Structure 1
Amino acid sequence: MSPSSTPAPSDDTPPRPRQRRKEARPQELLEAALALFVERGFAATRSEEVALRAGVSKGTLYRYYPSKQELFKAVVRENLTAHIAETAAFVANFEGPSDLLLRQVMEAWCLELGRGGMGGIVKIMLSEARNFPELASFYRDEVIVPTDAVLGALLQRGISQGEFRPVPVPEMITVLIGPMLHLILHEHSLGSCGLPCMEVQAADVLAVQLDLILRGLMLQPPPG
């Protein structure tokens, strides 16, 4: 039948079904994966559930991320590794006093990394690393080592410039990170069950922590 003889569609012609997207942007897949990993943990999350939440087929998901492990790694790189790299550049280019730099870095991490979905990734690694040694090694290389390097460079900067006392840097890094990890574990364990046990806010805890640390760290403690 030629185009000229093709009958015009009638008003009662059923509408064409809405076509499924052929592709999903990797960002959409990562957002769906992050939400499910935080809700259920790594072991309990299935790849097909991630694809369903993102609105794509399982085959489309595997086109970008051939395994659940690779998907998790991509989530970590998108949410944690990238932020740590940005912080490293910020520390390297900062020109103000080291106590202000430390405050800004810790406040940003508390706000953007320590809580919410990204904090959930941290909790997953703390609770499930033993069962997934490959992911534990990846997390160490992508998150723990770079984080220690950033904080170590910041502390060494203050020591070299005569602003901080010459403290043992690895131990001081642990002191800085410890309270944040405690808050993350609470938020994604008892707190997520509606059983909050701490009548405190993360920002208030950080303020107290930094006040105590800087009074002991600085050669000339801040007044007040």
Structure 2
Amino acid sequence: MTTTVPRQRRKDARPQELLDAALALFVEKGFAATRSEEIATRAGVAKGTLYRYYPSKDELFKAMVRENLSIHIAESAAQAAQYAGPIAGLLNEMMRAWWAKVGDGNAGVVCKIMMIEARHFPELARFYVDEVIQPSKALIGGLIERGIRSGEFRAVPVEATVHLLIAPMLHLLLHEHSFGEHDVCHQTMGAAELLDAQLSLLLHGLLAEPQGT
């Protein structure tokens, strides 16, 4: 009995070990240059074991996207559906939570890899659009529309405003996971300060002017 429990635990942990090994290699070598055999070796398993959990490198990457990005989008959508207060406050909270969960960790690395290599892998790019980009745009766009309907926000073009909210976050993510890792830009401002400035500018620009001003 004592010999089977550790084995079962190792078996249960294996999918995560494979995802961790793949992410490390994708960062080091890029998605295209990484071979499945290398991922299996890094995780300490046979190639056949890798294929038992993930039939291809593409499927492994999709699992990585679902674990690191899709889950956070779903959580935010559930939070938004239950929220009844001012939309500006919710947007502020969600943008900060996005950076804490996505921008400053493994999920940010997954975003960077996809942005760099999407043009070479159209099937994965379509998957990423369906799994990450479209749900994110729908979530933020829906919040802006709610704010407009309630009179909290002025009537802004929704799709363009979604891009204005997302683009600075992606820029910050790319900086943190490229130049920021080597400190070659000597940036004196942290992510929190930049987020403060972005949210202040954009959210106050969204707010409707009080009647009579």
Q: Normalising to structure 2: TM-score of the pair?
A: 0.88
Q: What SS class does the counterpart of residue 103 from structure 1 fall into?
A: helix
Matched, 1:90 2:79: yes
Cα displacement (A) at 1:199: 2.4
In structure 1, runs of 5+ residues without a counterpart are: 1-18
Give distance in 2, aligned partners of 1:98 and 1:27. 36
Give me the whole-angstrom Cα distance separating, in 2, the residues matched to 1:109 and 1:96: 19
- Write the distance in 2 (CA, Å) between the matches of 1:197 and 1:107: 23
Structure 1 residue 220 displacement after superposition: 4.6
Maintained 8 Å contact 1:38/1:117? no
* Deviation string, structure 1 residues 30-74 (Cα, Å, up to 9, x no partner): 222223323332112222222223222211111010110110011
| Structure 2: gaps (5+ residues) | 1-5
Larger radius of gyration: 1
Query: How far apart are residue 194 of structure 1 and its match?
Result: 4.0
The letter for the 2-side match of 1:115 is D
Q: Partner residue of 2:132?
A: 143
One of 175, 184, 206 as aligned partner of 2:164? 175
The correspondence of residues 33-182 of structure 1 with structure 2, limited to 5 A, is: 33-182=22-171
Q: 1:209 aligns with which of 198, 201, 204?
A: 198
Query: SS of the counterpart of 1:95?
Result: coil
In the other structure, the counterpart of 1:200 is 189
The aligned counterpart of 1:14 is none
Residue 5 of structure 1 aligns with which residue? none
- The answer on whether the counterparts of 1:190 and 1:197 sit within 8 Å (CA) in structure 2 is no
1:26 pairs, out of 15, 19, 24, with 15
Say how many residue pairs are matched. 203
**Residues in 2 aligned to 1:113 and 1:206: alpha-carbon distance in whole angstroms:** 14
Query: What amino acid does structure 2 have at the position aligned with 1:93?
Result: Q
Mark the CA change 1:212 to 1:97 in structure 2 (over 3 Å): closer, same or farther: same
What percentage of residue pairs aligned between the two structures are identical? 60
Q: Name the TM-score, length of structure 1 as normaliser.
A: 0.84
Q: Structure 1 runs of 4+ off > 4 angstroms?
A: 19-22
- Higher mean Cα deviation, 27-36 or 148-157? 27-36
Q: Larger helix proportion, structure 1 or 2? A: 2
CA deviation map 1:96-133 (0-9, x unaligned) = 21111001110011111122221111111111111111
Read off the aligned partner of 1:183 and give its amino acid letter: L
Q: 115-124 or 139-148: which moved more? A: 115-124
